[in-house]
């Protein structure tokens, strides 16, 4: 109810809003008392209310039927192909008596065209040692999922090679330092990606290779290396190179020089 005040306005003491809804059991009416002061109102027409309801329903259906847009095309095994071409790499570390075998299977995209490309599709790691079984199974499943997702997968190499073992790393054959077993798995994947052309070989150019050969010849003549020593190995007293992580740094002309990559502190 309302009363007329001295200013000619109307003061409402009790204002109720009535809502009517239709259910299976009949029509129900609900009243809500408004305690606060009313500062404005608007009457919604039935046509506008119906249009808003239809728009909301349409947006809801659109969200349900929305499709996932991928940035890259997902890779799938060709229909009818039971086997894939791949390579197996042996990892033998001084930390374990049993070797580890990394198998990477590849798939060929755009076969027979100028854009033909071979790329990894799945990876498996097998070993007699069951100590690492759980995390190796998890790692191979995740990497296989990344391979099949498509896009640039070369980042896996750097991520794996950046893992360090808190107990310390080891030197593999040839004097290259491996900070962890996971890093050597990444090294095997890198070798495979370079073999199939997914990673470009960024090794020494002709001039750098000639310089390294000259430095090595100078060092061998200076220290009188025995003829029976394997020419592929580096001297026993060599230190670890901070650039290529190979145990091939020797002192020449009072300067530390790497016989593998040519890096020198003296420039």
The residues spanned by each domain of the chain are: 86-195, 215-258
Residue 1: pLDDT band (50, 70, 90) is very low
Place of tokens 């592929």: 232
What residues contact residue 77 under an 8 Å CB cut-off, 6+ apart?
Answer: 84, 107, 121
Task: Calculate the CA 238 to chain-centre distance.
Answer: 35
Instruction: Indicate whether 60 pLDDT > 90.
Output: no
Integer distance in angstroms from the first to the last C-alpha of the chain?
96
**CA distances from residue 140 to 101, 151, 199 in whole angstroms, order as listed:** 12, 18, 20
Tokens of 30: 């609900």
Residue 2: pLDDT band (50, 70, 90) is very low
Q: Which DSSP state fits 261?
A: T
Q: Decide: 256 and 249 in contact? Cβ < 8 Å.
A: yes
Place of tokens 């042996």: 90
Instruction: Indicate whether 119 pLDDT > 60.
Output: yes
Q: Name the pTM for this structure.
A: 0.56
How many residues comprise the chain? 267
Could you read off the pLDDT of 159-211 as tens digits, one per residue? Answer: 999 999 888 888 887 778 888 999 999 999 999 999 998 887 666 667 767 77
Residue 101: pLDDT band (50, 70, 90) is very high
Q: Which of 168, 192, 188 is nearest to 179 (CA)?
A: 168
Residue 10: pLDDT band (50, 70, 90) is very low
Tokens of 180: 């962890």
Residue 88: pLDDT band (50, 70, 90) is very high
Which string of b and e fits 57-71 if b means at least 16 CB within 10 Å?
eeeeeeeeeeeeeee
More confident site: 142 or 250 = 142
Residue 18: pLDDT band (50, 70, 90) is low
Burial of 267 (0-12, 13-18, 19+ CB in 10 A): exposed
Tokens of 128: 């007699």
Q: Decide: 132 and 101 in contact? Cβ < 8 Å.
A: no
Residue 104: pLDDT band (50, 70, 90) is very high
Q: Decide: 125 and 139 in contact? Cβ < 8 Å.
A: yes
What residues contact residue 235 under an 8 Å CB cut-off, 6+ apart?
Answer: 219, 223, 225, 250, 259
Of the listed ranges 58-67, 113-122, 137-146, 147-156, the one predicted with least confidence: 58-67
Question: Helix 181-195 and helix 133-149: axis angle, to 10°?
Answer: 30
């Amino acid at each position: 109810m309302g009363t007329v005040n001295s200013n000619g306005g109307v003061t409402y003491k009790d204002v109720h809003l009535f809502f009517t809804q239709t259910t299976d059991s009949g029509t129900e009416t609900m009243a809500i008392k408004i305690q606060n002061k009313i500062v404005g109102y608007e009457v919604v027409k039935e046509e506008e209310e119906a249009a808003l309801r239809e728009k909301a329903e349409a947006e809801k259906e659109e969200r349900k039927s929305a499709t996932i847009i991928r940035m890259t095309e997902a890779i799938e095994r060709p229909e009818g192909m039971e086997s894939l071409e791949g390579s197996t790499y042996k990892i033998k570390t001084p930390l374990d008596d049993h070797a580890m075998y990394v198998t990477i299977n590849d798939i060929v995209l755009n076969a027979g065209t100028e854009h033909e490309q071979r790329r990894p599709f799945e990876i498996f790691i097998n070993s007699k040692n069951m100590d690492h079984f759980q995390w190796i199974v998890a790692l191979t499943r995740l990497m296989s999922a990344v391979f099949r997702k498509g896009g640039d997968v070369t980042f896996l190499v750097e991520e794996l090679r950046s893992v360090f073992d808190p107990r310390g790393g080891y030197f593999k054959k040839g004097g290259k330092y491996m900070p962890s077993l996971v890093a050597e798995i990444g090294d095997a994947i890198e070798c495979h990606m370079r073999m199939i052309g997914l990673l470009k070989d960024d090794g020494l150019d002709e001039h750098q290779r000639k310089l390294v050969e000259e430095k090595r010849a100078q060092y061998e003549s200076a220290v009188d290396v025995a003829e029976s020593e394997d020419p592929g190995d580096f001297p026993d007293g060599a230190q670890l190179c901070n650039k290529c992580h190979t145990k091939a740094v020797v002192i020449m002309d009072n300067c530390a020089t790497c016989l593998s990559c040519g890096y020198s502190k003296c420039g």
